[in-house]
Chain A
Amino acid sequence: MQKLSAELEKRLGSAVESMPAFPKSVQRVLELTRDINCRPKDLIEVIEKDPVITIKVLKVVNSAYYSLPNKITSINQAVVYLGVNTLKNLALSFSTIGILPRQNGAGFDIQHYLVSSLVTANVTRSLCAKFAMDVDQNDAYITGLLLDFGKVVFAQFMPDEFNRALKLSEEYNMPLHKAEEAVIGTDHTLVGARLAKRWQFPNSLVNCIAGHHGPEYPTPLAQCLHVADLIAERLGYDSKGKISARGEVEALHVRFGGDLDKVIRELGDTTKIIEEALQFSQAGA
């Protein structure tokens, strides 16, 4: 993995600890935890849709303290180890840090990012179920959810630089990660991977995040993520990634048959995935 500058490393170091969660999930966590009879599965449903809370929970359960033989990659697994009440109080403590502002200095649309991440996560899971059955579905979902986490970290902690990258990408119709590289000196793949490593995620997932814009997709999960990213973009949920800009896209792995439209058709009705993601991401109401 490429090295970050010492200054950048330092700025990102504390990024996730102080990262607020998404408005709708904070609201739902607060609502649910006020009810002593709240159903655990309702709480889990909220947590596993919020990348920030998910990351923080998994970080706790994957910490050296628990020294579990295998890394945990789903909230359900975390519940079995930590118990429902501990998970509830963890979620509550993360929720009190505050909420991600809808508008940030970078002009990056947080709602759109969240919907994009949920769509990517769900599509990745479906792709793995169809085209790469040996991949663990929890790994598929969580990696899809966190694939672009670096972007929201940039938006929150380096808003000016990220804003310039967004404009550059827009103006010259170039993929966002290339614009980030030009402006910031690194891109969201590297930052996301660096953070995922810090949160004790399994190396196989860290590598997928690091390499999710190619040039190679060496594992079945990496191949599914690449295709999920392309599908999310096609559906209009690419959180400004512009990965297909200028046609700079690597060919689909042979397992998908080479035709993106055919893969999308095989996935069936994608509107449900989008509707569900949209519904979840709407704050307030």
Chain B
Amino acid sequence: MKFKFWGVRGSIPSPGPKTARYGGNTTCIEVRSDAGKLIILDGGTGIFALAQALLRELPVEANIFITHSHWDHIQGLPFFIPLFIPGNSVRLHGAFDPVSGNGIEKVMAVQLQYSYFPVREAEMKAAIEYETLSIGQPVEVGDAVVTNTLLNHPVIDFGYRIECNGKSMFFTGDHEPYYNIYDPDDADYAEYQALIDEKQASVDAAMRGVDALIVDSSYTREEYPSKKGWGHGTFDGAIAMALRVGAKHLYCTHHEPTRSDDELEAVFADLMQRHTPLPQGLQVHLAYEGLEVVL
């Protein structure tokens, strides 16, 4: 199995000279099983460049898994060129939205409205299928299996674990580590803590022992207090998570749109200085557009 980052930016595309090295596109990760099956995690703007690359290998059989429906994770979908070409097949997977009552088909439909996009779904010539996933429902994609886990974000967010012939990876999508919403002297504090400890344990189990853990590391620990509850994690939190679950490699992604490449590297250098030497042989990387990893 191997994977490649096509978009590593959070929130909004951030092109320009200050982000040229790590890239300004929003989230998209291409995964290939050993047998070459195509799995795409999220359809941020990075999916457009991936789409161009895929034109060399028609017909395309794409299995897209959406972590959640916020713009930066779906915005590139209408520009996924294989959708327009007959003979291709695109299967879109994702969560059910309990507030709107919509399944995953809505993330396409909402973008393909007359006022916002010139092409209707009926005019897209690929075979398009939608699969709204139940929580924990495994999906076989050729020789790989993709299993979702419900994580913590302001909208339903699935982290995905992909297994293929003994190798494994996990992508959080957007996730903020659980925290107690009560103050220590509140009556509900202990009960709530027990609930989140239990949930945390089940999330950790879903990530356990992966070869590659790709984590929303939006903020520094200094930035986090003013962003608490926004649904994103920190670099330090990502390292703690990787150590807890025994991951071999950690990839930090969802870079802040305002953070320049130089600033990102400075933040990362500080992080590594504070955490070196890392136990358990953990290796930590900053994700960048074009980074390809073979497991």
Q: Residues of A at under 8 Å CB distance from B?
A: 39-41, 44, 60-61, 63-68, 76-77, 79-86, 89-90, 93
Q: Is the CB of B135 within 8 A of A67?
A: yes
For the complex, count residues of B whose C-beta is within 8 A of A: 24
Chain A residues with Cβ below 8 Å from B191 are: 76
Among the interface residues B96, B152, B199, which one has the most CB atoms of the partner chain A within 10 A? B152
Which of chain A's residues has its CB closest to B136's CB? A67
Given contact pairs A77-B195, A80-B178, A65 touches B231 in the complex (Cβ within 8 A): no
Q: Is the CB of B156 within 8 A of A84?
A: no
- B206 to chain A minimum Cβ distance, whole angstroms, is 14
Q: Residues of B at under 8 Å CB distance from A?
A: 96, 98-99, 134-136, 150, 152-156, 178, 181-182, 186, 188, 191-192, 195-196, 199, 229, 231
Chain B facing A: main interface SS = loop
Which of chain A's residues has its CB closest to B195's CB? A80
Give bound CA distance, A68 to B135, whole Å. 8
Q: Is the CB of B155 within 8 A of A67?
A: no
Q: Is the CB of B154 within 8 A of A83?
A: yes
Given contact pairs A76-B191, A80-B199, A90 touches B154 in the complex (Cβ within 8 A): no
Q: Is the CB of B153 within 8 A of A67?
A: no
Q: Is the CB of A80 within 8 A of B196?
A: yes
Known: A41-B188, A60-B98; 14 extra A-B contacts, CB below 8 A, are A65-B96, A65-B98, A66-B135, A66-B150, A76-B188, A79-B181, A80-B178, A80-B195, A80-B199, A83-B155, A84-B154, A86-B98, A90-B98, A93-B99
Give bound CA distance, A188 to B181, whole Å. 36
Given contact pairs A65-B96, A85-B231, A90-B99, A41 touches B154 in the complex (Cβ within 8 A): no
Give bound CA distance, A39 to B188, whole Å. 14
Which of chain A's residues has its CB closest to B199's CB? A80
Return the contact of B154 from the options A60, A77, A85 (Cβ within 8 A).
A85
Which of chain B's residues has its CB closest to A92's CB? B99
Given contact pairs A41-B181, A41-B186, A67-B134, A81 touches B150 in the complex (Cβ within 8 A): yes
Which of chain B's residues has its CB closest to A85's CB? B154
Which of chain B's residues has its CB closest to A59's CB? B98
- B32 to chain A minimum Cβ distance, whole angstroms, is 30
Chain B residues with Cβ below 8 Å from A80 are: 178, 192, 195-196, 199
Give bound CA distance, A79 to B181, whole Å. 10
Return the contact of B155 from the options A40, A61, A85, A93 (Cβ within 8 A).
A85
Among the interface residues B191, B199, B229, which one has the most CB atoms of the partner chain A within 10 A? B229
Chain B residues with Cβ below 8 Å from A39 are: 181
- A40 to chain B minimum Cβ distance, whole angstroms, is 4
- B64 to chain A minimum Cβ distance, whole angstroms, is 20
Q: Is the CB of A84 within 8 A of B150?
A: no
Chain B residues with Cβ below 8 Å from A90 are: 98-99
Chain B residues with Cβ below 8 Å from A84 are: 154, 181, 229
Chain B residues with Cβ below 8 Å from A60 are: 98
Chain A residues with Cβ below 8 Å from B186 are: 41
Chain A residues with Cβ below 8 Å from B153 are: 83
- B104 to chain A minimum Cβ distance, whole angstroms, is 12
Give bound CA distance, A259 to B213, whole Å. 61
Give bound CA distance, A36 to B99, whole Å. 18
Among the interface residues B136, B153, B178, B192, which one has the most CB atoms of the partner chain A within 10 A? B192
Given contact pairs A65-B98, A67-B136, A86 touches B155 in the complex (Cβ within 8 A): yes
- A135 to chain B minimum Cβ distance, whole angstroms, is 15
Chain A residues with Cβ below 8 Å from B181 are: 39-41, 44, 79, 84
Give bound CA distance, A16 to B57, whole Å. 53
- A118 to chain B minimum Cβ distance, whole angstroms, is 16
Give bound CA distance, A58 to B196, whole Å. 17
Q: Can you give 28 A-B contacts (C-beta < 8 A)?
A: A40-B181, A40-B229, A41-B181, A41-B182, A44-B181, A60-B98, A64-B134, A65-B134, A65-B135, A66-B134, A66-B150, A67-B134, A67-B136, A68-B135, A80-B196, A83-B152, A83-B153, A83-B154, A83-B155, A83-B231, A84-B181, A85-B154, A85-B231, A86-B99, A86-B154, A86-B155, A86-B156, A90-B98
